[in-house]
Amino acid sequence: MHNELKITDMQTLETNKETIEESTNPISLDLPDFTTDSYKDAYSRINAIVIEGEQEAHDNYISIATLIPNELEELTKLARMEMKHKKGFTACGRNLGVVADMEFAKKFFSKLHGNFQVALEKGNITTCLLIQAILIEAFAISAYNVYIRVADPFAKKITEGVVKDEYLHLNYGQEWLKENLSTCKEELMEANKVNLPLIKKMLDEVADDASVLAMDREELMEEFMIAYQDTLMEIGLDNREIARMAMAAIV
Ligand code: PL3
Ligand code: FE2
Ligand code: FE2
């Protein structure tokens, strides 16, 4: 009798614990309604940004291979992954019955795209890698990590696969810059000063649409900073240098 009571108490306790854990778990809360017009409207731009971003990432890795010809094979592999990502996100839009606003997305990337093209023409590998393999990849990683928490089940699965690849891409840029740090530090700092503010602007530009998808701006920024600072640390910059670089986002 006494024993039975104990077991029941413990079960009650267990049940309570589960309920509390579930209700405080942000990941399972507030999934948006994927069928509303407002969701689809915001998705038409965000989906386009992601599709355009993946296409440009592909093109950028192919371009970078012309600057580092002995890594053609590796860079071609990365580029191929980007095309797979593009296909995946195209399917996400189709699945929700959304037509991506590609014109909007082209404009969204145009400044960064222009800066990449200028660096490419000049043969500035460091700037090209900073723009594509650090800034754009960290931006993608932040967006995808936040999106996974609030995505429809179909898109969630696809995005989980994609984000794993994006870490490989970030890592590629990280390792090249680490190996060449003694000769590329100055260019890295300068390119960051010019291009990090563009990423910040892009994040601001997408924030309203992202919030309709239940993606929080602060969370996006936090995820971005984690990926960005981690990478700079791995490259071999010290705390002061990293702080100085990150500061470019707020001035
Ligand atoms: C690099 O491999 C891909 C670059 C893509 C950049 C994407 C930035 C996305 C910002 C918008 C946030 C919404 C994410 C939702 C995903 C459907
Ligand atoms: Fe990608
Ligand atoms: Fe990528």
Closest residue to atom 10 of ligand 1, CA basis = 143
pLDDT, one tens digit per residue, over 77-110 is: 999 999 999 999 999 999 999 999 999 999 999 9
User: How far apart are alpha carbons 186 and 237 in whole angstroms?
Assistant: 12
Nearest protein CA to atom 13 of ligand 1, as residue: 143
Would you place residue 28 in the very low, low, confident or very high pLDDT band (cuts 50, 70, 90)? low
pLDDT digit string (tens) for 144-202? 999 999 999 999 999 999 999 999 999 999 999 999 999 999 999 999 999 999 999 99
pTM of the model: 0.89
Under 8 Å between Cβ of 115 and 193: no
**Mean pLDDT across the chain, nearest whole number?**
91
Q: Which ligand is the nearest neighbour of the Cα of 87?
A: 2
Please say if the pLDDT value at position 14 is more than 90: no
Which pLDDT does position 251 carry in this prediction? 72
- The residue type found at 155 is A
Q: Is 138 in the pocket of ligand 1 (CB under 6 A)?
A: no
Q: What is the mean pLDDT of residues 63-77?
A: 98
d(CA 187, CA 25): 43
